[in-house]
Amino acid sequence: MEKLQRNERIAALTQILSNHPNKLFTFNYFVDIFGCAKSTLSEDVELLRGIAEKLQLGEIETISGAAGGVKYIPMLGKHKIEMILDELCKSLSDPNRILSGGFIYMTDIIYNPAYVDNIGKIFAGEFINKGIDYVVTVETKGIPIAMMTARAMNVPLIIVRRDSKVTEGSSVNINYVSASSRRIQTMSLSRRALKKNSKVLFVDDFMKGGGTAKGIIELMKEFESEVAGIAVLISTKEPSDKFVRDYFSLLILNNVDEQNSIIDLMPGIKINKTANDKI
């Protein structure tokens, strides 16, 4: 292969690492591709690290030793996160989104790749050091956000169903109480879905009373696994006494005033305490 110039190597490194977030590549992998010395590659990686930090594009992490290498961690900087949340608030606060019953139309946001990619990166950055083995969500609206979170963390996605499917094989079914409707509902997960003693991150688009999150916690106990984190796009201010207390919410919905066509939405308070300030 023809020897590549530094700018060509940097471009290729950026493409490969960003396409495979949180995947560890050995230095020999790139040495073989680029046909360069390890010392040269190390200089390229350091240059790319500086660019990523300056532009708040994430972190380039190097691990020494025989089993080491380099990987890209898509952790966004605090300033970039604030810009993303401001944009989400502005879009979702549009009075035209108000639906009957005080609901908000969010489908266009949830199924927009640009939005959910950023949301997934924020969630991944928040829980990247929690030893997460799987990202878990409940069908259906939370799936796009959960998928992008799983991609950013480089872990499998598990989708909990409302009822069991023949194609899933034997399943574990539990009943849980919906905090919003106070009705008993069912969730189901194939016994083959995850390994015992796993740590999972539960991701959802909306939380009111936390009943679904509480159900996921109980379901994971059936698999002898732990919910190590809960991440939601929007949580309501009320009820303040939710079924779960420890959760990460990007946006807080204070109120939907149908009569005056006002959506009172603001960035989640926790983001200012937990955003990555290093980049």
For residues 33 and 60, state if they share a domain: yes
Strands (E), the chain: 59-63, 69-73, 98-99, 103-104, 134-138, 157-160, 171-177, 184-190, 199-207, 226-236, 248-257, 262-267
For residue 92, the tally of other CB atoms under 10 A from its CB is 19
Confidence of residue 278 (pLDDT cuts 50, 70, 90): very low
Whether the ω angle into residue 140 lies within 30 degrees of 0, i.e. cis, is yes
CATH code at position 38 = 1.10.10.10
| CA 74/CA 153 separation, integer angstroms | 8
For residues 149 and 192, state if they share a domain: yes
Residue 271 has pLDDT above 50, yes or no: no
For residues 90 and 119, state if they share a domain: yes
Four-point Cα dihedral 153, 155, 156, 158, nearest 10? -60
For residues 67 and 171, state if they share a domain: no
How long a stretch of residues is the chain?
279
Residue 87 has pLDDT above 70, yes or no: yes
Q: What is the pLDDT of residue 277?
A: 40
Boundary residue ending a domain (38, 58, 73)? 73
pLDDT tens-place string over residues 138-167: 998 999 999 999 999 999 999 999 887 777
Range of the domain at 55: 6-73
Q: What is the pLDDT of residue 178?
A: 80
β-strand partners of 276: 77
Q: Backbone phi, then psi, for 127, in 5-degree steps? A: -115, 15
DSSP 214-244: HHHHHHHHHTT-EEEEEEEEEEESS-SS-S-
Q: How many CA atoms lie within 13 A of 264 on its CB side?
A: 9
For residues 40 and 90, state if they share a domain: no
Q: Which of 199, 200, 193, 203 lies closest to 148 in space, CA to CA?
A: 203
In a domain, 279, yes or no: no
For residues 131 and 47, state if they share a domain: no
Q: Is 159 helix (H, G, I), strand (E, B) or coil?
A: strand
Number of domains in the chain: 2
For residues 102 and 85, state if they share a domain: yes
| CA 106/CA 200 separation, integer angstroms | 25
Higher pLDDT, 186 or 180: 186
Confidence of residue 19 (pLDDT cuts 50, 70, 90): very high
Q: What is the pLDDT of residue 194?
A: 93
In a domain, 1, yes or no: no
Q: What is the largest CA-CA distance in the chain?
A: 68
Q: Are 196 and 221 in contact (CB under 8 A)?
A: no
pLDDT tens-place string over residues 51-84: 998 888 899 999 988 778 999 999 888 888 999 9
Q: What is the pLDDT of residue 179?
A: 67
Burial class (CB in 10 A: 0-12, 13-18, 19+), 10: middle
For residues 214 and 244, state if they share a domain: yes
In a domain, 151, yes or no: yes
Among the ranges given (12-26, 31-45, 163-177, 222-236), the one the predictor scored with the smallest mean pLDDT: 163-177
Scan for tokens 């190390």, then name that residue. Answer: 42
| CA 211/CA 176 separation, integer angstroms | 7
Across residues 92-107, what is the average pLDDT? 94
Boundary residue ending a domain (73, 97, 131)? 73
What integer best gives the mean pLDDT of the chain? 91
Higher pLDDT, 182 or 277: 182
Across residues 15-20, what is the average pLDDT? 95
Q: What is the pLDDT of residue 273?
A: 41
| CA 39/CA 209 separation, integer angstroms | 54
Confidence of residue 279 (pLDDT cuts 50, 70, 90): very low
CATH code at position 178 = 3.40.50.2020
Higher pLDDT, 43 or 164: 43
pLDDT tens-place string over residues 200-238: 999 999 999 999 999 999 999 999 999 999 999 999 999
| CA 41/CA 229 separation, integer angstroms | 36
Q: What is the pLDDT of residue 276?
A: 40
Scan for tokens 């549009």, then name that residue. Answer: 94
